[in-house]
Chains A and B, each alone.
Chain A
Amino acid sequence: MKSDELDALAEARQRANTIPLADINVCDLELWRNDTKLAYFDRLRREDPVHLHPPEHHRNGAFWSVTRFNDIVAVDTDHETFSSEPAITLDDPMEDFELPMFIAMDPPRHDLQRKIVQPIVSPSNLSTLEPLIRRRIETTLDELPIGETFDWVDRVSVELTAQMLATLFDFPFEDRRKLTFWSDAATAEPDSGMWDVERFDEQFAAVMTDCLTYFTGLWNERVNTEPKGDLISMLAHGEATRHMDPQEYLGNLILLIVGGNDTTRNTMSGSVLALHQNPDQHAKLVAAPSLIPSMVSETIRWQTPLAYMRRTATRDVELGGKSIRKGDKVAMWYLSGNRDETVIEHPNSFIVDRPRARHHMAFGFGIHRCLGNRLAELQLKILWEEILNRFPEINVVGLERVPSAFVNGYKTMHVEIPRRL
């Protein structure tokens, strides 16, 4: 880290450790923009691991922050007490523009819809996809400039995830960046810079409606042909999904687009940053490429690209000595659980050969556990196999973070590759 970054970190830790607990707002976008959020989560885990935030900490009102690993597991695995309806982020659904999606449903509806799309990530389908993923990664890496600065997010992370999504949806390949745009739009905060804050609802609905219009064309094409292996065909022919109304189709599309986009994209960028910041770990990986799968799991933990999921209490319940009331919102901060020193040794270190690296909570636990986790791991694994075949180092020269407490990621990451192997 550079000395000005270290100064900022020291100052943030000082502030995190001294302000009154009641003033800690982990949804303050500034903490995510300048990457000081971890200091606040450290304090909450230590002093108030099940913490109630006042209504003024979020535009949709009061919420609980659960920050310890084991408390999060307890919430995530008790889907009867902690419902995923009506939403899995702290934002409540818009009244006149609801987007039902199976991640924000409870059983039995959740189970029925999830099972319709599950085959897309079956082990046999992943084996089929593997050569295609590798070819695309090889091409993308071979086209990168040497000895000049470029944006890794745009040239690699966004490009590869957009290509992957286009394939999974059998979506017109030349239009694939539309998927990235819709994904970004779906998760962008009203005050992220993407929207006119005053006209957020209207603008959001307009962009999402464009997305629905485009995908309705694809639905109509697929529903009238034999079922095949892409996501739209699966939804159009699936027993539990073929009668969805347009908003529910759109909701599930957004779920699948965001699920396959933000997550893998930001982990791809995060892996470059983590290995740049930890040259000893990079050297270890170069010396033993068999560590790649372990490094991938470690990066997913270290990055935790979706920082939290929200649940809503269906009854009064005790958690960590606190009384959560029926109807209360509960944010499970996976990002914090993945830094819980009582469960994960040296949680703030990035260790490519960490024992039991798979034991992290970035995919969530319980019935809503990430559907595409194996596909994400496969993409990351192949990316690093091919990077190690080509580039002795990738230097990060600057980055800008996404201003969001939900998507923990990078807007841009400027890098330089000095030479090829």
Chain B
Amino acid sequence: MVKITFIEHSGVEHHVEEKPGLSVMEIAVKHSIPGIDADCGGACACATCHVYVDPAWMERVGGCGNLEESMLGFADTVAPTSRLGCQIQLTGQLDGLVVRLPKAQH
């Protein structure tokens, strides 16, 4: 099992354990984490699973793909640590990952 922490915009933390292999978005939906809409279901096509990766994890998580960058370009309050949750697969390497959620998904 791998651990991930979601921190809502209000500061509320959700600590979740899951089998490796799911995306950050899929874990959020499975555990009903508020603040992730995931309208397109994981096709990198809607930018409603926007998360901020904790800076300490940025290097291991890595940067955006092309389409992801285009989609994030139209999201609100984008930062250098912004990613789409559907494009990050939670593997053993990312055990302990911390992501923060924006005020609203666009």
Contact = CB atoms under 8 A, between A and B. Distances in A.
B57 interface: no
Contacts of A123: 76, 103-104, 106
Interface in A83-107: 107
A365 B40 contact: yes
B41 A114 contact: no
Given A73-B40, A123-B103, A123-B104, A369 B73 contact: no
Interface stretch (B13-21, B43-51, B82-90, B93-101): B43-51
A366 interface: yes
B46 A365 contact: yes
A222 interface: no
17 contacts: A73-B45, A77-B43, A77-B67, A111-B73, A115-B73, A121-B106, A123-B106, A356-B41, A359-B38, A365-B45, A366-B67, A366-B71, A367-B70, A367-B71, A367-B73, A369-B45, A369-B46
Interface residues on chain B, size class? 20 to 34
Given A73-B40, A359-B41, A367 B76 contact: no
A358 B39 contact: yes
Interface of A: 73, 76-77, 107, 111, 114-115, 118, 121-123, 356, 358-360, 363, 365-367, 369, 371, 374
A359 B29 CA distance: 12
B37 interface: yes
B76 A358 contact: no
Nearest to A361: B40
A360 B47 CA distance: 14
A359 B39 contact: yes
A122 B104 CA distance: 9
Contacts of B37: 358
A161 to B, nearest CB: 21
